[in-house]
Structure 1
Amino acid sequence: MKKNKSSVSFKETVRFALRGFKVWWRENPQILLSVLICGVIDALTPYADIWLLARLIDEIAGGRDPQMIKVYVLALMSTTAILTLLCAGLTRWKNVQLACLWHTQNKVFMEKLLSMDFADMDDGHVQELRSRIWQNTDSGGWGLYKLIYSFDAIIRSVMSIIGALLLTASLFILPVTASDGLKILNHPVFIFLIAAVMFGITFAAPLLAVKAGSYWVKYADENQLGNRLFGFWLGNLGNDRSKALDVRIYRQDILSRNNLKKYNPFIPTSKLAKASKGPMGGYRALSGAVSQVFVGVAYIFVCLKALGGAFGIGSIVQYVSAIIALSGGLSMLIETLGDLRNNTSFLRTVFEFLDLPNKMEKGGTRVSQNSDTGYEIEFRNVSFRYPDQEDYALRNVSMTFHAGQRLAVVGMNGSGKTTFIKLLCRLYDPTEGEILLNGIDIRNYNYHEYMQLFSVVFQDFRLLSFELGQNVAGSMNYDCDKAAQCLRDAGFGIRLDKLPKGLATALYKDFDEKGVAISGGEAQKIALARALYKDAPFIILDEPTAALDPIAEFEVYSRMNQMIGEKSAVFISHRLSSCRFCHDIVVFRRGSLIQRGSHNVLVNDKSGMYYKLWNAQAQYYEVEEE
């Protein structure tokens, strides 16, 4: 957060603000257009009423011409009615657009997240940037969100200043004629001093308010952490079904509440709360007090000039209203520009995130041009280290994987099995070495075509709260017969037949109150069916039966060859019984490939890791002799 606390130049403020407005214009021009048009009309409407009301009062106090009074009354009523209706329609249009503000901003960030390399998406720094953006928006409306309301304030203040200047210009020009004692009001020096005092007060009030607002930037770190804990405690902890059991058994709500008390920015002992009771609140109060001084000065000056015969009683209403509006407009403009300056530090974070480049090389070679004789993948002296980590997750891995082969990948936790899969699927690129597909570095292939080669069931897979068939196909439109067959092949057939709407049944109740809950084992079957439906040349299963009972697991593995057919398959499993039907087994330990061979070869090598792993599991299934 050091950047947030560094100085911000006017040039930088303008540059980041313009970039932010361009984002909003690209995503939804109507947001800016509605704010612009509505702001102009809203700001200028009161001045029409002020001018007409002043003329009406002057006529009543002066000439008292019934015809002119009637004209002014009708003009005032009709103008007010028309402008009120126009403002109501424009305000409705603007409010509709502003209702989309949050979702539009989320869309910008979601599109960035979905388009960036997985390696960046998985990076801790990127996740921290993303979290800071949400917390800044939630805690104070900072960032892109702030720009829209600042734009609204700028439009209103500028229009208010223009309208007020038109109505107040004559205040300083019309001379006092009725009293010698008040003719000092005509002296240029006195007029200059009065104007200087008014403008000084006008500038002082918003500057004090900006100073008060700067404490949001100063304590941004604490606010973000506290707001994150607050949101976790009130939202995630209570709403996440997966946490419900542990929360109740281990009273994690108490643990969370205690941490929230320690970092909560919304309690009286937080730094922000102390600042609000101290200097932050003081600056804000002083700003309000200075504004009231201006009102008093304006009333005194206008009334003295009216008393000296410079203008009639109706003009008092015009000048007092206009000069207070002028001060309000100037104050709003200065305060808004100050807010924009404070907001620049938060926009830095936004654009640091949005400007993250995709560093993975995207080649242009078509995968289809090299698939006539099947696929062969080779790891050639591949090493990999995760970003900001000193230790290698994989070290000097070399192996070849042929088309149609069944490969099992085994090893203890943290041995590099899942990292091996991520590199194979090109979610990451090797730190050293290369991975070849049919003799060509996979970085030279069209990235999206290469990704289409793989169907994967990850350990931490996710299903969406949509229709079952849409989850299997990953699409709104799908082949019903194919989806149903894939579910049956994955062992979900009996449950499918019992679902009220079959493939059209919604999973979970997030979007459909008639949605069905599914167990962990059923979810794993659906994930397996999804991999089968994609019908990719390579199918990769990372602990594909971890949530299944032994009978269901046996049924899945007994049909595995039938399901996979001629495809190449990679299995990661801690249950080594699943390795027996694989052609080849590779054993990882501490990031290195230490053994390779068939089950029969490896299980007979009593000095090897595979033998130790196999016997560690087998001993629990052996029957003890009496």
Structure 2
Amino acid sequence: MKNETSQDDAQVTVGRAWRLEWRALRLCWRLRPAWFVATVGDALMKAALPYATIWFSARLIDELAGARDPARLRMWVLLILAVGAALGLAAAVFARWRDAEDEAMELVARQQVTADKLSTVDFPILDDQRTSDVVAHILQSDRMAGKGLRNVTLTFGRALPGIFQITGGAALSVGLFTSPVPGTPDAGWLVALNHPMAGAALFALLIADVALSSLCYAKSSMVWFRFDDMGRFGNRVFRSFGLLFRDRRRALDLRMYRQYERVALPFWKTNNTFGVHAKSYRMITRVMGPLAALSAGVSALPVGVIYAFVCLKAWGGAFGVGAVTQYVGAITTMFAGVHTVLNQAGEIRANGPFLQRLFAFLDTPNTMYQGTLTTEKRSDREYDVEFRDVSFRYPGAPEGVWALRHANVKFRVGSRLAVVGENGSGKTTFIKLLCRLYDPTEGQILLNGIDVRKYRYDEYMRIFAVVFQDFRLLALPLGQNVAGSASYDPALAARCLRDADFGERFASLPHGLDTFLYRELDPDGVEISGGEAQKIAIARALYRDAPFIVLDEPTAALDPVAEAEIYERFDRIALDRTAVYISHRLSSCRFCDEVAVFDHGRIVQTGTHDQLVADRSGKYYELWHAQAQYYA
């Protein structure tokens, strides 16, 4: 998986670009088939309406230039109105349907595909910074230049009308080449237009013109790939600093230290990729702009050539004035379709590197072993978990740098285990391994004597409820945050909030469990403090009712008194659950049956609080008295 533009990206061949486009279209069809139906119908109606108007108008003009029969004139007028109204109504219906489907497909193309992949990849892949970089690159390329999967839907939507224009135009312009100029003395040299080479020359000239125009368009579009890295950096600068003054969370620092005008604004001005003096701007104005202008100018030339050829044949007597209207309209529209299709072919070529990057990410394989055993449903919650000589090194870490080394510990059912140690000692890594977010590099983790890798992954994870140190709540109703679901048991959610010491605040909320947290989605939402958020997160863990509950420093935002109250209360409500506490404040260890002391990735001590604090040579004694001096 790559996180930067590479030579491989730039060397996507035309054939590979088309294969990637075809794969992307199949993906879009699988995700939203209704969008295809709406798009095809809309394109068909858009092509049919002008051609129907051209054909019926030609018949009406012929009648006006000929017999002028009132009955036939009335018939043609009524047909023009009826067909125009029917096709116009159908076009409006399909256009409205397609607009709605485009909105849905835009969400699918820009968000759902990457979100679906991120939700299913192994956690080690998700936790890898390279994955974050790749996804950011994919999304920024889409937002900046419209490249990637979204470009596939746009190209398809633009090319289809062109294909229908070519088909309809070819059908209505056959007579232009099959209607000969009469061999009369008045025709003179115009009889030469009957020769097959005249029509072939006309087509060759038009095709050459359209091909040149499309080539210029494709070259112009390819500049986007050269601009991609510069534009990506520019977007990051803008997102970081351009709207900094709107970030309420930074308002205090910005005001106190004048960070916006003194730091952010100068950096933004110096690194503004989209400024008129930037290299990227020169690339657009000196390369992309002239090529696009040349493409537009060249594409206008065929109109004059078509008018000249049709009018000359009409002057020679090959057909009447009504046919002139039909042929000029038909062949002009047909070559406009050819121009559109060739332009979109150039878009497909230019979009190839972006699709290759997307599919390289989507094809990233999961490597964690997925077992098939089901975890036994036990009403007594007696799940025996053991770490047996477990060592772990993070992917990409230097050789010999271990996050955890030779860890041996066995959880007693229904016990309270405190995990303590300095920052970087391996505590959070220990929890990630316990929950099987990662697998051990060496050793085994056993559940009821069986390697946890042999269990079904989803079932194994259900026996844990975790409050991580960097947990997040959603800007959704309180009840949904507690349950982790749109549907939930209100009575249970309310009880869990009270058990987590959120009862008093809960009673004051205007809409109870239906109260929105924060104000992103509801102007009446409530802003909660860090301590209140942690209580809600603990309530969420209680709601899950898992046999193992893990608190990874969940009380960091609380004062020591509030923390002690939380732990005392939690010790009562945990009941027969096996609980694991991680905390920097060692006062929590008083409530635990056992304490595991981590230091530089190893478990260096185990025992009760009283046993460990009595060992003056141990790490726990050092940590305990380092904190105790601040409370003495």
**Pairing 1:394-543 to 2, within 5 Å after superposition:** 394-543=404-553
**Residue type of the partner of 1:484?**
A
- How far apart, CA to CA, are the structure 2 residues paired with 1:39 and 1:356? 36
For residue 607 of structure 1, the aligned residue among 584, 609, 617 is 617
Q: Over residues 430-476 of structure 1, what are the superposed CA-to-partner deviations in whole Å (9 max), with x where a residue is unaligned?
A: 12222112221111112112111111111111112222222222233
Distance 1:67 1:375, change over 3 A: closer
Work out whether residues 242 and 268 of structure 2, in 8 Å CA contact, stay in contact via their aligned partners in 1: no
2:318 matches 1:310: yes
**Pairing 1:187-336 to 2, within 5 Å after superposition:** 187-233=195-241, 237=244, 241-254=248-261, 255-336=263-344
Q: Runs of 5+ in structure 1 lacking a partner?
A: none
Return the offset for 1:153: 1.8
Tell me the percent identity: 46
2:86 matches 1:78: no
2:89 matches 1:102: no
- How far apart, CA to CA, are the structure 1 residues paired with 2:451 and 2:145? 48
Distance 1:361 1:91, change over 3 A: same
Return the offset for 1:262: 4.4
Return the offset for 1:259: 4.1
- How far apart, CA to CA, are the structure 1 residues paired with 2:318 and 2:67? 17
Distance 1:257 1:464, change over 3 A: same
**Alignment match, 1:616:** 626
- How far apart, CA to CA, are the structure 1 residues paired with 2:106 and 2:158? 19
- How far apart, CA to CA, are the structure 1 residues paired with 2:125 and 2:260? 32
- Partner SS for 1:78: helix
Work out whether residues 381 and 576 of structure 2, in 8 Å CA contact, stay in contact via their aligned partners in 1: no
Return the offset for 1:160: 0.2
Return the offset for 1:131: 1.0
Q: TM-score, normalised by structure 1?
A: 0.94
Work out whether residues 3 and 345 of structure 1, in 8 Å CA contact, stay in contact via their aligned partners in 2: no
**Alignment match, 2:169:** 164
2:49 matches 1:45: yes
Pairs aligned (count):
621
Between stretches 369-378 and 591-600, larger displacement belongs to 369-378
Work out whether residues 477 and 513 of structure 2, in 8 Å CA contact, stay in contact via their aligned partners in 1: yes
- Partner SS for 2:410: strand
- How far apart, CA to CA, are the structure 2 residues paired with 1:3 and 1:63? 69
- How far apart, CA to CA, are the structure 2 residues paired with 1:259 and 1:31? 43
- Partner SS for 1:278: helix
- Partner SS for 2:417: strand
Between stretches 304-313 and 286-295, larger displacement belongs to 304-313
Return the offset for 1:230: 2.5
Return the offset for 1:61: 2.6
Work out whether residues 32 and 148 of structure 1, in 8 Å CA contact, stay in contact via their aligned partners in 2: no
2:21 matches 1:21: no
For residue 133 of structure 1, the aligned residue among 133, 138, 151 is 138
Work out whether residues 135 and 224 of structure 1, in 8 Å CA contact, stay in contact via their aligned partners in 2: yes
Return the offset for 1:321: 1.6
Return the offset for 1:68: 2.8
Work out whether residues 34 and 97 of structure 1, in 8 Å CA contact, stay in contact via their aligned partners in 2: yes
Work out whether residues 227 and 264 of structure 1, in 8 Å CA contact, stay in contact via their aligned partners in 2: no
**Alignment match, 2:581:** 571
Distance 1:475 1:370, change over 3 A: closer
Between stretches 15-24 and 523-532, larger displacement belongs to 15-24
Q: Runs of 5+ in structure 2 lacking a partner?
A: none
2:160 matches 1:150: no
- How far apart, CA to CA, are the structure 2 residues paired with 1:370 and 1:33? 51
Q: Over residues 263-302 of structure 1, what are the superposed CA-to-partner deviations in whole Å (9 max), with x where a residue is unaligned?
A: 4443223344212211211111111111122222222222
Between stretches 427-436 and 220-229, larger displacement belongs to 220-229
Between stretches 607-616 and 261-270, larger displacement belongs to 261-270
- How far apart, CA to CA, are the structure 2 residues paired with 1:299 and 1:195? 13
Question: How large is the Cα RMSD of the aligned pairs?
Answer: 2.2
**Residue type of the partner of 2:291?**
Y
2:117 matches 1:112: yes
**Alignment match, 2:97:** 93
Distance 1:149 1:424, change over 3 A: same
**Alignment match, 1:383:** 391
Q: Over residues 493-513 of structure 1, what are the superposed CA-to-partner deviations in whole Å (9 max), with x where a residue is unaligned?
A: 211222222223222222332
**Alignment match, 2:37:** 33
Return the offset for 1:373: 8.1
2:352 matches 1:347: no
Work out whether residues 201 and 290 of structure 1, in 8 Å CA contact, stay in contact via their aligned partners in 2: yes
